[in-house]
Amino acid sequence: MELVLHKKSFSELTTDELYELLRIRSEVFVVEQNCVYQDLDYDDQKSFHLWLTMDGKVMALCRVCPAGTHMEEVSIGRVITAERGKGYGKRIMLEGIQAAQERFGAKRIDIEAQEYARGFYEQVGFRQSSEPFILDGIPHIRMTWTSEE
């Protein structure tokens, strides 16, 4: 069983791919985390979408938003991994960082991370850049990645 990386702009997504990505986001962020919020925010249309599959099942996903879309800087969001502890989350984040650099020329990337996941994002080079704040009823922090160039 091999992981397959998918990378597409919104307009390149098939209806089935879009449905599956939105279904998983809803399953995790709305149902699992018991958080009522507006996931469909019009940022998807401008974003670059990445996901990993194994035997057709989505194992991890994220979206890369250009500067001025979700945040002032290029940002990565909607990060989900289906199985924790297997490296899928780290892989999708590293792919997201690379896509942000290649597609949007990012030298800096911001994220709004759930506070409990700070250590995970630090593993891929993000550093806390704000005090904790509440977003959609969940403690978050802003974190920033900068290129070494």
Model confidence pLDDT, tens digit, residues 44-55? 999 999 999 999
Q: Is the pLDDT of residue 35 over 90?
A: no
Model confidence pLDDT, tens digit, residues 71-90? 999 999 999 998 888 999 99
Judge contact between 82 and 59, C-beta under 8 A: yes
Q: Is the dihedral of CA 97, 101, 102, 103 positive or negative?
A: positive
Give the residue numbers spanning the domain of 25.
Answer: 3-146
Judge contact between 88 and 94, C-beta under 8 A: no
Model confidence pLDDT, tens digit, residues 86-118? 999 999 999 999 999 999 999 999 999 999 999
Q: Is the pLDDT of residue 32 over 90?
A: no
Q: Residue 108 burial (CB < 10 Å; 0-12/13-18/19+)?
A: middle
The whole-model pTM stands at: 0.94
CATH number at residue 43: 3.40.630.30
The per-residue pLDDT for 128 is 98
The number of distinct structural domains making up the chain is 1
Task: Tell me how far apart the alpha carbons of residues 121 and 124 are, in angstroms, rounded to a whole number.
Answer: 5
Q: Residue 11 burial (CB < 10 Å; 0-12/13-18/19+)?
A: exposed
Please report where in the chains the tokens 């806390």 appear, as a residue: 128
DSSP β-ladder status, 127-128 and 138-146: antiparallel
